């Protein structure tokens, strides 16, 4: 870990706990894949299941991301709560499946915006097994603004809260 970039008084276990907590709270993440030439990002609703060491996504069968994952299974997910200055990234390996039982267990009422029901044959499941995560956990917008103002007056660098990386 590069200490110049990372600063936190949290233990690695506390960082890991906070990463899982924020990913679950924020829900929508930018799901980033590689197509062989470019990174591709799109917003997806994450089903965060720490007890299974997995993050799940329901997607369409014909999505280009499914083909990208077949060739390049390494992904990054980025969550941002800009109102509270809370940010998380998680990287890991993704796999697309047609696990109908798991799809049914993960189904939520909001999924009806895209599919009729959990039995829709066009739904696929992306399962991500996390490898590492990084956290930027600020005390909030107003505190961050006050710290920037204080730093400008005193000529010091502002402390924006915790930034730490851990293996998951």
Q: What is the pLDDT of residue 55?
A: 98
Count Cα neighbours of 134 within 13 Å in the Cβ-side half-sphere.
13
Structure confidence by residue, pLDDT tens digits, 32-89: 999 999 999 999 999 999 999 999 999 999 999 999 999 999 999 999 999 888 999 9
d(CA 86, CA 125): 27
Q: What is the pLDDT of residue 19?
A: 96
Count Cα neighbours of 5 within 13 Å in the Cβ-side half-sphere.
6
The mean pLDDT of 17-39, rounded to a whole number, is 97
Structure confidence by residue, pLDDT tens digits, 83-136: 888 999 999 999 999 999 999 999 999 999 999 999 999 999 999 999 999 999
Q: What is the pLDDT of residue 143?
A: 43
More confident residue, 150 or 166: 166
d(CA 102, CA 54): 12
């Amino acid at each position: 870990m590069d200490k110049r970039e990372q600063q936190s008084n949290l233990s690695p276990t506390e960082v890991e706990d906070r990463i899982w907590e924020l990913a679950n709270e924020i829900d929508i993440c930018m799901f980033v894949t590689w197509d062989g030439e470019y990174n591709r990002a799109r917003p997806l609703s994450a089903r965060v299941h720490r007890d299974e060491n997995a993050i799940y996504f329901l997607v369409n069968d014909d999505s280009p991301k499914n083909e990208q994952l077949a060739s390049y299974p390494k992904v990054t997910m980025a969550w941002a709560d800009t109102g509270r200055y809370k940010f998380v990234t998680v990287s890991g390996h993704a796999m697309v499946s047609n696990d109908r039982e798991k799809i049914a267990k993960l189904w939520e009422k909001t999924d009806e915006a895209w599919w009729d029901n959990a039995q829709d044959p066009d739904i696929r499941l992306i399962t991500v097994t996390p490898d590492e995560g990084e956290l930027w956990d600020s005390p909030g917008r107003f505190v961050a603004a006050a710290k920037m103002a204080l730093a400008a007056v005193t000529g010091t660098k502002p402390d924006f809260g915790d930034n730490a990386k851990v293996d998951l």
